Amino acid sequence: MSCRLVIITEIIAPYRIPVFNALALISGIDLHVIFLADTDPTQREWKIYDNEIHFSYEVLPNWHTRLTRTLYLLLNRGMKSALRRNSPDVIVCGGYNYLACWQALFWARHRNVPVLLWCESTVRELRSHPWLTKHSKQRFVHSCSGFVVPGISSRRYVASFGIPDEEVVTAPDAVDTAFFSRLADQARAGRERLQELKLPEAYFLYVGRLVREKGIFDLLTAYEKMSPQARKQFSLLYVGDGADRAQLLQRAVSIQPGNVHWAGFVHREQLPAYYALAHAFVLPTWSDPWGLVVNEAMACGLPIVVTDAAGCAADLVSNMWNGYVIPPRDVAQLSSVLQAFAADPSLSRTMGQRSRERIVQFSPEHCAEGLATAAMRFQDKARA
């Protein structure tokens, strides 16, 4: 039995394309993806890799603006007509904070089409939507037939609404692990050809938006607290851009001895080289639904230092096995961990290999299988 699956999601994110390509190849799944916008230039400078898309999709006409750092307004037209044209058996909706998602929910309710919420939120998130009341969020959640989550932390979040476990299916968040692993190996093999990147000889790496809530100042302070000898030996490299970049640069000037480097925003093709030559990857975030940069770093063979506020931590990182899981804003512990990596280079090699072993289970194909399982399960339930 075929399942006509329509997925509604925000933008054409590079990490979603391999997942949807894999999903479209699964027997019994007839996939169509509705994007609410092609990209969000106010947040990231992602390219749109439309030449890599091998699934049916459309981008709805839209208007969007960022009102504050955390509040993004996205309005669409054409959702109802798109759903009528595609006649879904199951809808997977990647959020509840856009008007188009509510339109899809109401459209589906009147046609007995199950709607599954693809939920990546966690109870530790700092993000808030003042215009979206607790009552309306609960209404959306309890109107859904089922839920798709990336891992343990999001499953706990869904359970906090009183949702029974049998209504939740895991589709692990994924990046193109084979792509990152392959290019990282190539970068290590051709290290002498990477002088144009101006990478330091040895460094700890952060990749992401340069905003305070990602813990970027905590990382800088932790680096400053390392021994002078360790700072002479190891640099700190930030890859990314964001609203707090200028303040971070100004703060870094006072760190002596030590070397803090800035790569700016880096597109997907160049990222594996930055990962591959790093000593360890650090995500000191105060709040993060998942943290796909951790997937990327693990695919490139890096040990991970991450806070337990990151949604991915419970699934991807085992403390003192393939990295360290620490509390957010604990600068002293973060500095101690960095110092441990600096003192023992074998720690990086051993933990990095373990990261590669674990991330194999978090491939686009595994995520696609989870989505397919959810779609077929709730299609059968709706027809029973």
**What is the tens place of the pLDDT at every residue in 230-285?**
999 999 999 999 999 999 999 999 888 879 999 999 999 999 999 999 999 999 99
Q: Within this chain, do residues 208 and 158 fall inside the same structural domain, yes or no?
A: no
pLDDT of residue 44: 66
Share of the chain above pLDDT 90, in %: 81
- Calculate the alpha carbon distances from 152 to 118, 120, 159, 312 in Å: 14, 10, 11, 8
Q: Within this chain, do residues 367 and 240 fall inside the same structural domain, yes or no?
A: no
Q: Within this chain, do residues 205 and 139 fall inside the same structural domain, yes or no?
A: no
pLDDT of residue 346: 94
CA distance 183 to 248: 30
Q: Within this chain, do residues 144 and 189 fall inside the same structural domain, yes or no?
A: no
How distant is the alpha carbon of residue 14 from its chain centre? 11
Q: Within this chain, do residues 22 and 55 fall inside the same structural domain, yes or no?
A: yes
DSSP secondary structure letters along 234-281: -EEEEE---TTHHHHHHHHTT--S--EEEEE---TTTHHHHHHT-SEE
Q: Within this chain, do residues 143 and 233 fall inside the same structural domain, yes or no?
A: no
CATH number of the domain to which 212 belongs: 3.40.50.2000
Q: Within this chain, do residues 214 and 160 fall inside the same structural domain, yes or no?
A: no
pLDDT of residue 322: 98
Q: Within this chain, do residues 31 and 13 fall inside the same structural domain, yes or no?
A: yes
Q: Mean pLDDT of all residues in the chain?
A: 92
Q: Within this chain, do residues 370 and 355 fall inside the same structural domain, yes or no?
A: no
The token pair that represents 257 in the structure block: 């001895």
Q: Within this chain, do residues 186 and 308 fall inside the same structural domain, yes or no?
A: yes
Q: Within this chain, do residues 367 and 270 fall inside the same structural domain, yes or no?
A: no
Give the closest residue to 379 by CA, choosing from 13, 123, 1, 111.
Answer: 1
Q: What is the pLDDT along the chain (384 residues), one digit of tens a residue?
A: 799 999 999 999 999 999 999 999 999 999 999 999 998 766 666 788 989 999 999 999 989 787 666 667 888 999 999 999 999 999 999 988 889 999 999 999 999 999 999 999 998 876 555 555 677 888 999 999 999 999 999 999 999 999 999 999 999 999 999 999 999 999 998 866 566 788 898 999 999 999 999 999 999 999 999 999 999 999 999 999 999 999 999 999 988 887 999 999 999 999 999 999 999 999 999 999 999 999 999 999 999 999 999 999 999 999 999 999 999 999 999 999 999 999 999 999 999 999 999 999 999 999 999 999 999 999 998 887
pTM of the model: 0.94
CA distance 103 to 132: 15
Q: Within this chain, do residues 18 and 74 fall inside the same structural domain, yes or no?
A: yes
Strand duo 280-283 + 304-307: pairing:
parallel
CA distance 16 to 53: 10
Beta bridge partners of 32: 6, 56
Provide the domain limits for residue 318: 177-359
The token pair that represents 352 in the structure block: 């990095």
Number of domains comprising the chain: 2
